[in-house]
Amino acid sequence: MEVALIDSGGANIGSVCYALERLGVRARMTADAAEIQAADRVILPGVGAAAPGMARLQELGLVDVVRALRQPLLGVCLGMQLLFESSEEGDVECLGLLPGRVRKLPPAPGIRVPHMGWNGLQPRRDDPLLAGIAAGEQAYFVHSYAAPVTEHTLATSEHGIEFAAVVRRGHCHGAQFHPERSASVGARLLENFLSGVAA
């Protein structure tokens, strides 16, 4: 299986590569449109802010490439947020593959922003991406902005408010948490993406 890891400039790319290697998959880190289009699976990682993330994809000429993909695509952390229509962070237009606007997590008494650490997942509906992941299992989050809960939300988590933790619309999948830092839950989600979801 050919897995393309889009070289989006995020600091977590190396960690995602190692997580995939532990599953026996060597992903090709690339910004080459032809390689991305030819891959069986595509992963869009990301750490940082939405506006620089979109600017990086624009600079690489990859915005329309990602929008036109038809094979399974997985956005991770910021990469998931970029799948949505827009983000309050930098007031930027994103890829528009999922409806909705990413908004800043509201601070509240006892609630720190950024949301950083382990938190439980609450599945909302069955999906091959969540196979083997039970309600309440913990994943590792680091983010200040969050995607809305919509019909495309597969699992939520809560930090002051409920937000989308795992999403899917057709071939587009996303995880707000870091699978590469989420132990067995993260490994299971990556494994499901690689072999469980329909191509």
Is 72 exposed, middle or buried (CB count within 10 Å of its CB: 0-12, 13-18, 19+)?
buried
Active-site residue 77, yes or no? yes
The residues pairing with 86 across neighbouring beta strands, listed in sequence order, are 93, 101
Question: Are the C-beta atoms of 1 and 40 separated by less than 8 Å?
Answer: yes
Residue 120: partners with Cβ closer than 8 Å, 6 or more residues away: 135, 136, 137, 138, 157, 158
DSSP state of 1: -
Active-site residue 180, yes or no? yes
Out of 77, 94, 115, 137, the active site residue is 77
Out of 89, 159, 178, 191, the active site residue is 178
Out of 115, 172, 173, 180, the active site residue is 180
Count how many Cα atoms sit within 13 Å of the Cα of residue 176 in the half-sphere of its side chain. 33
Token duo for residue 15: 């960690």
Q: How far is residue 195's CA from residue 25's CA, in Å, rounded to a whole number?
A: 11
Which residues are marked as active site?
77, 178, 180
